[in-house]
Amino acid sequence: MDGAPLGDYDPSFAKLRRQLEELGIPYHFMGLGGHAYPYYLRHMADTIEPRILVPLHSQRPEQVASEKAGERVLPAEGQIIEL
């Protein structure tokens, strides 16, 4: 249920899969990491139509945009923003 090891990039993942196979236990991924694809982020911003869009928790916040959002603020590290 989406716990460690989280995917095939984790060295322990192959070991887990091997152990489950040896024990005859089927593997079915059923987790939800909570991360959204860029399309869904844009769709959500377009739907909400915020007056101010502040993309946080993103590898590339400059790519989070919406034509239906008002001002987009790209905060710098340590910057304090009052809304």
Name the residue ranges covered by the structural domains of the chain: 1-34, 35-75
Per-residue pLDDT reduced to its tens digit, 36-49 = 888 888 999 999 99
Contact 1, 28 (CB under 8 A): no
Closest by alpha carbon to 53, among 66, 63, 40?
66
Supply the pTM of this predicted model: 0.55
What percentage of the chain reaches a pLDDT higher than 70?
93
Contact 12, 20 (CB under 8 A): no
Spatial CB neighbours of 22, under 8 Å, sequence gap ≥ 6: none
